[in-house]
Amino acid sequence: MAEAIKKADQVGNGLSQGDSVLDAVASGPEIGPGSEPKSVAEVESAPGRGTKVWWVATGLLVVMAIIFGVTTYIGSESTWLKMVRAFSEAAMVGALADWFAVTALFRRPLGLPIPHTGIIPNNKSRIGRSLGLFVQRNFLTEAVLDSQVVNISGSFARFLQNPENRRGIVERTKALVPQILEIANDTEIKRFLNQQIEEIVKQADLARGGSRFLRMLTSNQMHEVLLDEVIQQLQGVFRTNQLWFRYQLREATPWFVPEFVDRKIFDAIANKTEQTLSEALSNKNHELRQKLLSALYSLIVRLETSADLQKKVEDLKVVLLSSDVFREYIGSLRDAVLSGIDADVKSRDSLLLSSLSRVLQGMVDTLSESSALQRKLNRFIRSILSTLVGQDSTFVADLISKTIDGWDTKTLVGKLEEQVGADLQYIRINGTLVGGLVGLGLYLVSAAVGR
């Protein structure tokens, strides 16, 4: 089973590579003049940016420290030198304070157990739950979903209008089906499928189900096909076993009847039987067909009302479920279906893939021609989304919470620093410069008051 799950993950990865389809459907038709929103890939395509800004912020702190050390060492009473020393001194204080604040978000500064540091790692679960609830309650409410006017089905139809997009879906299906079939051929998956089939048979009411099926055939005149098949089978059995029937007739006649008389009698019976079966095939009102049809109606009624017949059907079901032959038949039937699908998908003229292509084309034609159908589908999709992720649901909140809670601390800190690290380092830079300016201002005020 573990191997099957691993294969399923690989299939899921293959499916995730088809996100261009979803992107095309979900993208709004109107973005605004001159606006080019960045994709997720573009947002994440600047690795190392935070590290570069970290070096700038740290370098600025070092420069301020060097300036403060040099001006302190010189010890001159020059006003300009004092102003520079005051600026660098306050800048160091501002830089160190902001470094402490920024570092305390993600880890303990210098590894020291200072209270209220490592805020994000220590509150990972609470942050994940709060973030999930925020998204759920502010972006996925029924009011928000109902207010969206994006024509999802229309966008999907426009996407499918491009032959290349349809061909891409077909090709992706062609690549994924063998992987899915490989999973289905796993021993434990086969055992699971067999158990499900047996459970379905066990729970099924074969008697009443059979009667409903036969009634459906008769109501749609499909029983005529069934009667034709029965008569043809009778005709075939009689033709291929005439020697046996002749022998049985010979055995039943007295010894004193000449053989040529037996032959004459049998030939007459054979000719009449052949004639009757042929007429029954060509004449829908033939007496034989009517008798067979009457027997069929009688069987339907008995399946519905006869407790004795229903018990016999249930007994037959028990025998089937306890039979190794039945299990082997179900297994061989399953394997034959899977092998047939695999061979079909790999063939040049695949029936499955050509059918999928026709279905996609049919969806394009139907959705493009019917705006009413598009509106119905959009309402249906929004109702599903409202049920799944609406205000009364906690599906998305739980998903976000469990995902974040499942990350290890290093992964969480790394992801957050990757996204906001550069901006936090700019806070350090700003703190250095603002601190220096504040220190310089305080020095000037102090100098002015001292005069």
Instruction: Look at the block and give the residue holding tokens 């046996």.
Output: 244
Give the ranges where 283-323 is alpha helix by DSSP (H): 287-305, 307-321
Is position 189 within any domain?
no
Is position 92 within any domain?
no
Q: Are 25 and 151 in contact (CB under 8 A)?
A: no
79, two tokens: 């006003």
| CA dihedral sign of residues 171, 172, 176, 177 | negative
Question: Tell me: the pLDDT tens digits for 192-213?
Answer: 877 888 888 888 888 888 888 8
Question: Tell me: the pLDDT tens digits for 399-430?
Answer: 777 777 777 777 777 777 777 767 778 888 88
pLDDT of residue 11: 47
Radius of gyration of the chain (CA): 41
DSSP 186: S
Total domains, the chain: 1
Give the ranges where 204-323 is alpha helix by DSSP (H): 206-219, 223-240, 242-252, 259-282, 287-305, 307-321
pLDDT of residue 96: 87
Q: Are 132 and 396 in contact (CB under 8 A)?
A: yes
Closest CA to 321 of 181, 195, 409: 195
pLDDT of residue 388: 64
Residue 433 CA to residue 88 CA, distance in Å, equals: 9
* Percent of the chain residues past pLDDT 70, beyond the cut: 81
Is position 259 within any domain?
yes
CB neighbour class for 224 (10 Å; exposed up to 12, middle 13-18, buried from 19): middle
Closest CA to 436 of 72, 92, 96: 92
Q: Range of 244's domain?
A: 204-328
Is position 388 within any domain?
no
Is position 1 within any domain?
no
Residue 385 CA to residue 377 CA, distance in Å, equals: 12
What phi-psi label fits residue 48: left (phi over 0), alpha (psi between -120 and 50 degrees) or beta?
A: left
> Would you tell me how many other CB atoms lie within 10 Å of the CB of residue 445?
10
**What does each of the 451 residues of the chain score in pLDDT, given as a tens digit?**
445 445 545 544 444 444 444 344 344 333 333 444 444 444 444 455 567 888 888 888 899 899 888 888 887 778 888 888 889 888 888 888 888 888 787 777 777 777 777 777 777 777 777 777 777 666 666 566 555 555 677 778 888 888 898 888 888 888 888 888 888 777 887 888 778 888 888 888 888 888 888 888 787 777 788 888 888 888 888 888 888 888 887 788 777 778 778 788 888 888 888 888 888 888 888 888 888 888 888 888 888 888 888 888 888 888 888 888 888 888 888 888 888 888 888 888 888 888 888 888 888 888 877 888 887 887 787 777 666 655 556 666 777 777 777 777 777 777 777 777 677 788 888 888 888 888 888 878 887 886 5
Closest CA to 80 of 430, 432, 447, 451: 447
Q: H or E stretch including 336?
A: helix 324-346
Instruction: Look at the block and give the residue holding tokens 């989304």.
Output: 385
Q: Are 95 and 64 in contact (CB under 8 A)?
A: yes
Question: Which phi and psi angles does 365 have, rounded to 5°?
Answer: -60, -45
Is position 240 within any domain?
yes
Is position 285 within any domain?
yes
